[in-house]
Amino acid sequence: MSLQCKICGNEYTNKAFKWCKPCQINYLKRNFINWTSGNENIDEFIKEMQFKINSYYDIIFEWIPYSHFNNIKEISRDDYITIYSAIWYNSPLYYDEHKIGYTRYQFCRYKNVNLKCLDNLQITTNEFLNKVNAYSIKRQDNIRKIYGISQNPNTKDYIMVLEVNILISQTGRVEIKKSINLFKTCN
């Protein structure tokens, strides 16, 4: 097995998974032209989050079009926050060592997520982004994971796209998920 990156020729950051951080950051930079939130501050924040990756298993923080969510159901509400369960039909990016780049799961294209919307708050974009920073893109820490940001096209509210920890059971009851299996890709 070659220990040198096939793209830049430098030693892989992670040799076992053929992951080269500088090349993957460059891939993400080249992809910037393929998306926008329509808000320069949010776009810059997403780029900064993407630059924070340090491992092949870190979550690639993304702008996620609201149209990529199906089966959206309100599961919790208070005066300021509404939580929805949803199915993200495009699923998160993951690193594929055979393609030496990021791709989406083909065998598991649907991902259960929670959408967190800050309701009726006249907060600035920067205040919203400060709240986003409470979550993690590191799969192996104990902080709840965030996949990205979206926007409700009707209300124009920005939405945090989070790993599932609130589910609706088959009986319709709301359940808090106590632990998340890091190796289960299709929760």
Per-residue pLDDT of 173-185, as tens digits, reads 555 554 333 333 3
d(CA 168, CA 23): 40
Does any domain span residue 117? yes
Q: Does any domain span residue 32?
A: no
* CATH code of 95's domain: 3.30.200.20
**Portion of the chain with pLDDT greater than 90, in percent:** 55
| 76-84 mean pLDDT | 89
Q: How many helices (H) and strands (E) does the chain have?
A: 3, 10
Answer yes or no: is 186 within a domain.
Answer: no
User: Does residue 93 lie in a domain region?
Assistant: yes
pLDDT of 187: 43
pLDDT for 179: 38
- pLDDT of the residue at 120: 62
As a whole-number percent, the residues of the chain with pLDDT over 70 amount to: 86
Q: pLDDT band for position 104 (50/70/90)?
A: confident
* Structural domains of the chain, count: 1
The domain of 83 spans: 57-176
Rounded to the nearest integer, the mean pLDDT of the chain is 85
Res 1: pLDDT: 60
Look up residue 102 and give its amino acid: Y
Q: What is the pTM of this model?
A: 0.84
Q: What is the 3-state secondary structure (H, E, C) of 41-89?
A: HHHHHHHHHHHCCCCCCCCCCEECCHHHEEEEEEEEECCCEEEEEEEEC
Average pLDDT over residues 45-64: 95
Q: Please report whether residue 6 resides in a domain.
A: no
Q: What pLDDT score does 182 carry?
A: 34
pLDDT digits (tens, 9 = 90+) for 128-171: 898 898 888 887 777 889 999 999 999 889 999 999 975 544 44
Instruction: State which amino acid sits at residue 53.
Output: I
97 within some domain:
yes
20 found inside a domain: no
Residue 181 within a domain? no
